[in-house]
Structure 1
Amino acid sequence: MRRKLLFGERMLLGDGTEPFNAVIPFRLRGTFKIEDIKHALSRLQIKHPWLRALIHHDEKNVPWFEVTERTIPIPIRIVDRKGEDDWQEESKREWQTLFNYGEEPLLRFTWIKGEKVSDMLFGFHHCLCDGGSAMAFLYEFLKILDHPSAEIGLENPILGIQDVVPPEILLSRKQQLKAKVIGRLAATAVKWVPVGKKAVERQKDYMIHWKFDEMISKELVFYCKSEEVTVNTFLSTVLLHAFKKVRGTAAFNKVSCPVDIRRFAPQIKEDHIFAFGLMIVVSSDDKMSFSDNLWMMQEAVERKTAKLNPYMTMMVMESAHDALKNFTKLLKHGKSSNDCMFSNLGRIQISDQYKDFTLETIFSPSVIGPLGNTTTMVTSTFRGEMDFSFMGSEGYLPHSEALAVRDEMIQTIKQQLEYSGVS
């Protein structure tokens, strides 16, 4: 089984010299055997063909996912657990470790082993899948770790754009022409955008992590419902306010928000290993109050989301493979134009209670890569607690300013809850 990487996957893959890795850490209370972990990982590979795949380039240097006849096991690394924050250091290590994707799978596993509590990490190349896919195989891993013979089914993998875009759109000459024209215009524009000779020096990468307890998390959700806005819009508004407060005129007043393609393309199932994403950009208005900004931004989010067209977006991108080098150069060498990428995974629907162990927490995933501004915030909610991972690099956002952004966000959220009388 094999398929060509899509345009977005190729961009994330790069030339193999720079990592673009994501990490999902989680904490278990219980005792475990390495044989059981290996068994669970092997079951994941049986279900999901692309977890068995390597990447090879053809004679035109085009990369392909190829499932080998002999399954190469997911690599496991074991370290002794010394403290509560070991998972953060191991996450950073995973960010910086290249995948030898021509010889090993695009997924690896780290076991931070303790006597009664263990932290575990899935590290994967971002070209393999997104956070939604990763949560699916985390759910399956825990299910099999608890019950080795548990049934998790078999994935019917996506083998190309034809498995996502309906044939009446993909084979339409009108839609094909439209995609080609838009793709050529975009490729030409990108070619002539002036960029620096050197990419911004990233310097040291960092992670900042925090949680809201169950009470504050519940109050935050209630506040958003009372204001008739989504949690995502509320947190985006808070994030923009914090960047403006901390960075002043250096802030861009722009936050990029990924939108799950599964909302628009039912062909992509929850457990599909797939990396394609959609994006909207949100901004606030300095002349408006916080509440007015909330409602204005909610309207903007709904308007922009309604205009998203995943099928045409995919067709346009697939028509522009020859412009990949210029697109990548623009992202790496162009000036940053947004403050942060913000992703809210929402409530994670994974059980915390198992026969022989307890899932104490799932830390929000982290991701960092070489395509421009690395500043990223990811939030998720598990067991009623909202969890935040804030990643960045000194060359884009100094660590001291990132800490100030975090503090301003926490303060603003608590103030809004107090003002509204929710607390």
Structure 2
Amino acid sequence: MNQMKRKLLFGERMLYGDGKSPFNMVIPFKIKGQIAEDRLNLALLNIQKKHAWLTASIEFNEFKTPWFITNSPESFKVSVRIIERVSEEDWKRESEREWNISFDATKSPLFRVAWIKGEEFSEFLLVFHHCLCDGTAGLSILKELLLLLDNPEVKIGEEIAIQSIKDIVPEQVLNSYRKRTKNRIIGKIATLALWIIPVKKVAVDRKRDFLLHWKLDEQLTSSILVFCKSQGFTVNTFLSAIVLKAFKEVQADKSFNKISLPVDIRNLNPLIKKDHVFAFGLMIVLSAGKQNDFIDGVKQLQKDVDRKLAKLDPYALMMMMEACHPSLDNFSNLLKYGKTSNDCMFSNLGKLDFPDNYENFELETICSPSVIGPLGNTTTILTSTFRKQMDFSFVASEGYVAFKDAELIKERVISLLKENIGTYN
């Protein structure tokens, strides 16, 4: 494998930060069966051979600009930490632990594994630095890992790695004088605004970070899918409305009636493939309207979603952000030290299209990823569906949401789902 290098894009630099503060994503899964340690190591090696950036270190040039630089997989291996499995809850504790363990990108990849090893069952945690990998890429790597754990000879192909912005923005867009000029001007205006905005450098005391996790049964999950289809809105919009209402009911005047929703850039940019190791976040923000009828409110929210998605231009956003590198520190400080303005980030990864039975083990479950970092409000709810069950991970810090309030929000989300499905069925 020839060595490759590329500058971190603006979003990647923001997520990487100073390289000392962890910004980690954890993807847990549970299997029934026995896995040999050497087979896991071989599987991870083959995954690194496919995805060059999983061998990357980060180095700074003379201008203090960070670069991804690939290494040989044999000399820059994915580390595996093995923990004896004592209970069903061990993976939650270990997930919380992994959030707070920094990656040293000079010595090891920005990817590692924690193996909670038992006689009959094991949980594995795939841990990525978020600057390297988003949820879609992480789940693609998980799919490849399971295939290789089952059969080391299986072919998983080779990723054509993204080596510059030229690989992910069409040439005609990059070379358009009008588009370049417009995005450069917008970038300079944003840079100026970030220089002007005063930010008091006193970070919120996060206190204890915690994870709440729950699943819906098959019947309720199925009812939600049928219900949303019959009403003409997406499951994502329905869940967003439920989350907004739950925060409002539990936190009352402390709530913001605002959630941010990541949008997978791959849905708008065909140049970025599902298995590309990449992390670039598009985002839309939603607020609930004042309709008396909740379902009427969801339908209005769907119109807002459709309108905002139609306006998203991934190429323009990427070009504009690349013009903002001079304001990176100011932008990061605004996120880190600015006042909280939304209730949470909510992300629905949808149905996970994985087999559950393999030749040598059974995939019992995939838990929704969790992610936490240093840039402002840590409150995040992620959901996904596997084996016909909707799964939720609720990450927060007590400095932003009290644990007892988070538990009440969780219970209210479940109740509101049941109440609305029941009312309209």
Q: TM-score range by the shorter chain?
A: over 0.9
Residue 56 in 1 paired to residue 75 in 2? no
AA matched with 1:344: N
Match of 1:391 in 2: 395
Q: Distance in 1 between matches of 2:282 and 2:409?
A: 26
Match in the other structure for 1:167 = 171
Q: Which amino acid aligns with 2:84?
A: D
Distance 1:82 1:29 in 2: 15
C-alpha deviation, 1:194, in angstroms: 2.7
2:42 aligned to which of 32, 39, 42: 39
**Does 1:4 pair with 2:7?**
yes
Following TM superposition, the consecutive aligned residue runs of length 4 or more in structure 1 with deviations greater than 4 angstroms are none
- The answer to whether the 8 Å contact 1:194/1:334 transfers is no
| Post-superposition CA distance 1:169-224 (Å, at most 9, x none) | 01111111101110011111122223223011111100000000111100011111
Q: Does 1:16 align with 2:19?
A: yes
SS at match of 2:92: helix
Q: Which residue of 2 aligns with 1:89?
A: 93
How big is each residue's C-alpha offset from its partner over 1:98-126, in whole Å with a ceiling of 9 and x where there is no partner? 00111100000111000010000100100
2:368 aligned residue (358, 364, 371): 364
In 2, Cα distance between the equivalents of 1:37 and 1:197? 44
Query: Aligned partners of 1:296, 1:95: CA distance in 2, in Å?
Result: 37
Q: Secondary structure at the match of 2:201?
A: coil
Q: Which residue of 1 aligns with 2:258?
A: 254
1:313 and 2:313 aligned: no
Cα drift, residue 154 of structure 1: 0.5
3-state SS of paired residue (1:355):
coil
- Preserved CA contact (<8 Å) 1:4 1:65: yes
Distance in 1 (alpha carbons) for counterparts of 2:421 and 2:251? 24
Contact 2:201 2:333 in 1 (8 A): no
Name the amino acid aligned to 2:293.
Answer: S
> Structure 2: which amino acid aligns with 1:350?
F
SS class of match (1:60)? coil
- Read off the aligned partner of 1:66 and give its amino acid letter: I
**C-alpha distance in 2, partners of 1:288/1:127?**
42
Contact 2:50 2:159 in 1 (8 A): yes
Instruction: State the AA in 2 paired with 1:14.
Output: G
Within 1, Cα distance between the matches of 2:51 and 2:71? 13
Q: 1:416 aligns with which of 403, 409, 420?
A: 420
Counting only pairs closer than 5 Å after superposition, residues 146-157 of structure 1 correspond to structure 2 as 146-157=150-161
SS state of the match for residue 47, structure 2?
A: helix
> Paired residue for 2:122?
118
Aligned positions of 1:191-340 closer than 5 A = 191-340=195-344
How many aligned residue pairs are there?
A: 421
Q: CA deviation at 1:32?
A: 1.1
Find the residue that maps to 1:326 and give its secondary structure: helix
TM-aligned CA deviation for residue 233 of structure 1: 0.3
Deviations 1:140-159 (A, max 9, x none): 00001101100000000001
Distance 2:301 2:198 in 1: 31
Q: CA separation in 2, counterparts of 1:150 and 1:313? A: 38
Given the alignment of the two structures, is residue 28 of structure 1 paired with residue 31 of structure 2, yes or no? yes
The answer to whether the 8 Å contact 2:289/2:301 transfers is no
Which stretch has the larger CA shift, 8-17 or 193-202? 193-202
TM-score by length of structure 1 reads 0.98
Task: Letter of the 2:388 partner, please give it.
Answer: G
Q: For residues 387 and 282 of structure 1, what CA distance do their matches in structure 2 show?
A: 22
**1:381 maps to 2:385:** yes
Question: 1:76·1:111 contact (CA, 8 Å) conserved in 2?
Answer: yes
* Corresponding position: 1:177 with 2:187: no
Query: 1:341 maps to which residue?
Result: 345
Q: Distance in 1 between matches of 2:197 and 2:65?
A: 25
CA distance in 1, matches of 2:377, 2:182: 31
TM score, norm. by length of structure 2:
0.98
Q: How many Å separate the matches in 2 of 1:92 and 1:298?
A: 34
Q: Deviations 1:318-339 (Å, cap 9, x if unpaired)?
A: 0110100000010011001100
Cα distance, 1:16 vs structure 2: 1.4
Q: 1:55·1:64 contact (CA, 8 Å) conserved in 2?
A: yes
Mapped partners of 1:203, 1:170: distance in 2: 44
% same residue? 49
Contact conserved, 2:246 with 2:413, CA < 8 A, in 1?
A: yes
- In the TM superposition, residue 287 of structure 1 has moved relative to its aligned partner by 4.0
RMSD: 0.8
Whether contact under 8 Å (2:21, 2:374) holds in the other structure is yes
Residues 133 and 278, structure 2, Cα contact 8 Å, conserved in 1: yes
Q: Name the structure 1 match of 2:106.
A: 102
